[in-house]
Amino acid sequence: MQITSPGFPYNSGTPCEYFLMVEAGKKVNVEILLLEANSCCDSLTIYDGYLGGDVLVSLTGEVYNVNYTTTSSNIMKVAWQPNGGINVLGLAMTFRAV
């Protein structure tokens, strides 16, 4: 199942957070199929866990077909933070248990 930012691909100006959860004892692997963000001001941050979890990576610009996996949790927080999101597509991703 593909998950996208609100308004994808026509309007990427709405911030959102996703909490991706898999069964206990497993890790979350997210594949960023497409991220198109303004390098100046839009970002996607991926956390290991949900409240106060460690930042795995913070991304901006154009990113295609990359994977990130939690190191200690079966929950991953993915936060899309546009500051306008002007003339960019936003985010498309999938996730699975590993």
pLDDT on residue 97: 98
How confident is the model over 13-28, as pLDDT tens digits? Answer: 999 999 999 999 999 9
**CA 98 to CA 92: how far, in whole Å?**
20
The answer, yes or no, to whether residue 85 has pLDDT greater than 80, is: no
Average pLDDT over every residue of 72-87: 92
Other CB atoms within 10 Å distance of the CB of residue 92: 18
Domain that holds residue 10: 3-97
Encode burial over 27-66: b for 16+ CB neighbours within 10 A, e otherwise. Answer: bbbbebbbbbbbeeebbbbbbbbeeebeebeebbeebeee
Percentage of the chain lying above the pLDDT 90 cut: 90
Domain holding 23: CATH number?
2.60.120.290
Q: Which of 25-34, 59-68, 82-91 is predicted least confidently?
A: 82-91
Total structural domains in the chain? 1
pTM (2 d.p.): 0.93
Q: Which residues pair with 97 in a beta bridge?
A: 28
